[in-house]
Structure 1
Amino acid sequence: MIAAHRGASGDAPENTSAAFEEALAQGADVIELDVRRTADGELVVFHDANLRRTTDATQVFPDRAPWRVRDFTLTELRRLDAGGWNDERFAGQRIPTLDETIDLVGDRARLLLEMKRPSEDEGLVAAVAACLDRHGRGGPLDASGDSGRFVVASIEREYAFRYKELRPEATVAALTVRADTDLAELERIAQYAAFIGTGQARFPQEQVERVQALGLGVLTNTSTAADVREMMPLGIDGVITDHPGRMVTALREERAVWIEVESLEPGCRSSCPVEVQPNKGMNGGKWSGDAQLLVRATGPGDTVEVAFDTGGLGSRNLGLTLGGSPAGGIHQLSLDGEPLGPPVDTYRASVARQTLTFPHLVLAEGAHVLHALVTGRHSSSTGFDLGLDVLELRAAVAK
């Protein structure tokens, strides 16, 4: 089971219609999303407690600090841009309601709904139940016998339990439960939950077996294809990921290769500082392989070269995932001396990623060099940084 984390959040602004449509296009089985309530009791799909990171609320409502979701009506939230922070091509995306999202996804995928901080909103559990009642249930979730279009979950386990009490027929999950959690606690969770989301990328087989012996499904959390390939033979039930398309490919294309660019740092050549930057948490600063290669460029003319090899697997098509930030620059990317299209702007108002694909480019088997030249920066940027996350090499399909 491949669950798209806040939609295809590695390729589109999280928890928006664009991210959900992208996740469906990439082949996700499940759409994971976050649910909160507005000041007038409407259910909206949004992750953070406040609006600053992924909307323009501070500009639209400058006098409404701290810009908490629960302090705004749905009509007010509709005025916000929830996509432009990620990329200007997503400007105008709005915060969707839960009703709208259920209608959008339809029967194309299941929904994994995380109730955000229900301890701070005692009416959230009942409101989610009423919403899902309106949309009905039906259809098998998986071969284990769990049914329904929806899985309802929470990090606050007491409220996942309360939802199960309110709707005994519902499929419920407990989140951020590590696979090595105390056995007594796992036994308590197994009394009401069908799944646990571990928040972990990898763990030993004995932990998988220990959890599954209690009747619990096990979901990992990773955007790294190698993690999925390692864990699948151990019997995990699924993965929650920012890049569902990458995971679909990892399971179905044996010859697909992903190179974590930070692993190439020892051999890179640069005119400016380069460092391996570790993940900063779930709110945007989360890169494949738990890190990215960060080029701390100081101005136009700085360069970096990263050498890699296709691994003797024949000709390849290329994809490149970049990390964006408020300090992003504009870079001309080239491969083996040939430009890879127009310059790329890595400025983002908040930390975000973008994946570039070059379907008409076919890499010959063997060694190659990726080159980046700083040509400038966005007018709002505070620097010239370039974050290099993943090189994707797939069996070539010549165009």
Structure 2
Amino acid sequence: MHTRAVAVTTTALLGAALLAPVSAARAAHDGDGPVVVAHRGACAYAPENTLAAVDKAAELGVDWVENDVQRTKDGALVVLHDDSLRRTTDVEEVFPGRAPWKVRDFTAAEIARLDAGSWFGAAHAGARVPTLEQYVARVELHHQKLLLEIKNPELYPGIERQTLDVLANQGWLDRRHVSGRLVVQSFSADSVRTVHRTRPSVRTGLLGAPAVSELPAYAEFTDQINPSYTALSLGYVSAVQAFTGPHGRPLEVFAWTVDDPAEARRTAGYGVDGIITNRPDTVREATRTERAASR
């Protein structure tokens, strides 16, 4: 799967990176800077992980959106970042006696009653927590691409297979989607490995910045290494991209979460393949400007 042994030194990896082929994402977007991913939808402009945030990303012309998936008490998959409903819904008012308001303690019907938009502003009052089915349908409506994060998999045994089943039922595991419109990621290496074993055709991402010495093992089952932008360096990005992932392409690096234009230009300068941001319009403009200035 990759041609370098585990014992290869970091120095050797950096040298090999100079000869590594360009990743699929970078090749597809050459001239436009890194792929820009709308974090939780365009969540600087609409309530995170709602259909309104997907719509806003589409309005801004952003191809990729990122979301988070959790599971309800009765087994439905919903799109929500926190394992608690408290921060982004009115659950405390609707269900005052059920602290700490964990997602897994509420049914899908109960969650569907909650207002997931008023906290963001009156204009979004009445927005709902979408199910995964509703979310991918909206992404499909806009012909967008999806970076899906399996959140807290340790809380939801079997969520990897269930997520893949929903995606399959929604038509998202055909060749057209898995070849360029879908990546499933997690902070849990075990979760990412499970996704790869269950559906080898699906591209995967590991959130975090593992040591270079650990990359050969991860390259067996993940296509992306997606760290915080604060963990990046030119050397680290080059080292990651020197490895070949399970689909025969160089590992990609998608950095999160970058909103500041200067930081976006700096991050793009490291050679990352993608940038995850709450302000995709700002980052897109900043990175295109950086690319134009370097010509």
Instruction: Calculate the TM-score normalised by the size of structure 1.
Output: 0.59
Write the mapping of 1:19-58 to structure 2, written as runs, cut at 5 A: 19-58=53-92
Q: After the TM superposition, which segments of 4 or more aligned residues of structure 1 sit over 4 Å from their partners? A: 138-141
Q: Give, in whole Å, the separation in 1 of the partners of 2:219 and 2:192.
A: 12
1:237 to 273, 284, 289: 273
SS at match of 2:148: strand
Report if aligned partners of 1:138, 1:149 keep a CA contact under 8 Å in 2: no
More strand by share: 1
What corresponds to 1:62 in structure 2?
96
Q: Is the 8 A contact 1:27 1:244 kept in 2?
A: no
Sort the Cα spacing of 1:202 and 1:23 in 2 relative to 1 into closer, same or farther, 3 A. Answer: farther
Which of 134, 138, 141 lines up with 1:100 in the alignment?
Answer: 134
Structure 1 partner of 2:228? 199
Alpha-carbon distance, 1:149 to partner: 2.7
Partners of 2:290 and 2:155 lie apart in 1 by 46
Q: Provide the identity percentage.
A: 40
1:10 aligns with 2:44: yes
Counterpart amino acid of residue 198 in structure 1 = P
1:186/1:254 Cα in 2 relative to 1: closer, same or farther (>3 Å)? closer
1:113-149: CA deviations, max 9, x gaps? 11111111112111101011112335667xxxx7143
Conserved in 1, the CA contact under 8 Å of 2:212 and 2:236? Answer: no
Paired residue for 1:149?
181
Q: Does 1:125 align with 2:157?
A: no
Residue 55 of structure 1 aligns with an amino acid whose one-letter code is T
Counterparts of 1:184 and 1:254 in 2: how far apart (Å)? 32
Distance 2:235 2:101 in 1: 45
What is aligned with 1:116? 151
> Which of 166, 183, 195 is the matching residue for 1:163?
195
Deviation at 1:213, TM superposition (A): 0.3
Q: Residue 197 of structure 1: CA displacement?
A: 1.2
3-state DSSP class of the match of 1:153? strand
**Higher helix content, 1 or 2:** 2
Structure 1 residues 25 and 95, CA, compared in 2 at 3 Å: closer, same or farther?
same
The yes-or-no answer on 1:190 pairing with 2:190 is no
* Structure 1 portions without partners, runs of 5+: 256-399
Give 1:108 deviation, angstroms. Answer: 2.0
Equivalent of residue 211 in structure 1, options 240, 256, 259: 240
1:1-399, aligned counterparts within 5 Å? 1-106=35-140, 108-136=143-171, 137-138=173-174, 147-175=179-207, 177-178=208-209, 181-201=210-230, 203-214=232-243, 215-221=250-256, 222-253=258-289
| d(CA) in 1 for partners of 2:176, 2:199 | 17
Does 1 or 2 have the higher relative contact order (CA < 8 Å, sep 6+)? Answer: 2
Distance 2:111 2:46 in 1: 20
Structure 2 residues not aligned, in runs of 5+: 1-34, 244-249
Relative distance call for 1:249 and 1:138 in structure 2 (3 A) is farther
- Computing the radius of gyration over CA atoms, which structure comes out larger, 1 or 2? 1
1:199 Cα offset (Å): 1.4
- Residue 22 of structure 1 aligns to which amino acid in structure 2? K
Question: Structure 2-normalised TM-score?
Answer: 0.80
